[in-house]
A and B are shown apart, each in its own frame.
Chain A
Amino acid sequence: MSANVRSTRAADFDVQRCRADFPALQRHVHGKPLVYFDNANTAQKPLAVIEAVDGYYRRHNANVSRAVHTLGSEATALYEATRDKLRSFINAPSRDEVIFTRGATESINLVAYSWALPRLQSGDEILLTQMEHHANIVPWQLVCERTGAKIKVVPISQEGELLLDQLDALLTPRVKLLCLTHVSNVLGTVNPIARICAMARARGIPVLVDGSQAAPHLRIDVQALGCDFYAITGHKMFGPTGTGMLWAKRAILDAMPPFMGGGEMIKQVSFEKTVFNDLPYKFEAGTPNIAGVIGLGAAIDYINALGIETIRAIESDLLVYATQQLNTIPGMRIFGTAPGKAAVISFLIEGVHAHDLATILDTDGVAVRSGHHCAHPLMQFFGVAATARASLAFYNTREEVDVFITALLRARAMLL
């Protein structure tokens, strides 16, 4: 499908077919059909994912990489297949560089404790941006507290775009790592990661990218982006909760000590000395979330079958339509208007509290998030305590946007 999928009937048909794959979308809430617009928080799961998790427990349940029996081999093959799918999904050079984690938060903490902590010294800087999620702020504060390093912040414009000239000025020799999100969970801004990585690379500064919000919406190519670390979480890309990935270049991973000790991450253990396992197992201590990882593999298959470009086109169409409709509501203020943004719309209606809005919308079956979206510094930048956020996925429809707008008008009338 091409980029003009938005105007074709075929796209509508595809969306309806996709919706049938998601059992939770068939639900009613307060007697109304569920309109699920909280996808940036967590996405719904297709039947293929649910069945992959179920199938593992029903047929293949065994521990991975430890048993020579049939179930052990099957479980290991299914589990390791997800590593290959992830490698291909982000175009990593090697499957050994794909480390399974519980999610992007653990991925970032792994880098903070294993890579940054031994390297940071007093006077060093970690460069973040104004639009980071707390998961890409707090781990850095923790290692800074222990090392005397400092956090510096790249500012953004009122439209929600990084100020690249200021970023350039902040990339001083003191900066040991630049950490930024690929797509803002509040503003939807898609940051120019390749360009930013080139700026950092010219000064020898490594870059960590939080891809939590990018993975469900964009084609990711870590080699083309030129980053050094890339973190994603499974549950936002239609996979199970408690799954995720850290990718990093092999030389970097080789130089990093293990984060956690335990089974599976060792080659040989005596009480005097332990020889650690090779990549990626060095970072995967203990029995992992096998069922979840297998489910994540099914989620990647689902995304690939649909095509990430198709997903992007459908979501762009929905975003344009929803934004147009929202702007007809009196007192509407939308946060984040960067060109090419992802289908995330943070907004407020003048005089109405975001929580009240979300509470009333729920009585109409419409699920949106309200609050600070784990981004206090960004809320402070815009001078608000909270926003409401509608985040769309390819399985959402224009008809759902209409229900949402009608519900918003009703809530506004009640609350003003």
Chain B
Amino acid sequence: MSTLEQPAENSAEFAQDTIIEEFGYFGDWTERYQYLIDLGRKLPTFPEALKIEQHKLHGCQSQVWIVPSGTAARLEFQAISDSSIVSGLIALVLRVYSARPAAEIIATEPRFIDAIGLSSHLSLTRTNGLAAMLKAIKDYARSALAQSAA
């Protein structure tokens, strides 16, 4: 997926700061969910052919598929869920972690999740799903680094 598209923010940390600032404008959780739903709708189309077991993320209540591409220098992720709200969460995660160097991905802690109140608002099962997605992304980054060192 060599889309050559540049991420909206030039670093993972800057992306986190921007997300935290954006969520600060919302009045209530209905607005936050509406925003997440809209973000999910704007995710790039995920090819149906890639919705296979190999790309399925386990540990989520809803179905999530994630496909990595690129090298340790720049790792990209394509992902989608059958849940609109989870797709919105994926959009946030990708904004922070996709199209970044593997080393930056590994070094970035997802502080935006706590900062925008997601961890206290999402049910534990959804928080676990989010943790599973972040673990998968960091695992891909680690193996990409290992491959580039080999």
A interface with B by C-beta (< 8 Å): 30, 352-353, 355-356, 359-360, 363, 371, 385-386, 414-415
Contact = CB atoms under 8 A, between A and B. Distances in A.
B82 A385 contact: yes
Given A355-B83, A359-B85, A371 B61 contact: yes
A355 B62 contact: yes
17 contacts: A30-B29, A353-B62, A353-B84, A355-B62, A355-B126, A356-B83, A356-B84, A356-B85, A359-B33, A360-B30, A363-B30, A371-B61, A386-B61, A414-B30, A414-B34, A415-B37, A415-B84
Contact of A355 (B30, B34, B85): B85
Interface of B: 28-30, 33-34, 37, 61-63, 82-86, 126
Contact of B33 (A353, A363, A371): A363
Nearest to B82: A353
Nearest to B33: A360
A408 B33 CA distance: 15
Contacts of A385: 62-63, 82
A353 B30 contact: no
A253 B93 CA distance: 56
Nearest to B123: A359
Contacts of A415: 37, 84
B43 to A, nearest CB: 15
Contact of B86 (A355, A371, A386, A414): A355
Contacts of A359: 33, 85
B33 A414 contact: yes
A261 to B, nearest CB: 35
A356 B86 CA distance: 8
Contacts of A356: 37, 83-85
Contacts of A355: 61-62, 83, 85-86, 126
**Most B Cβ at <10 Å: residue of A356, A360, A386, A414:** A356
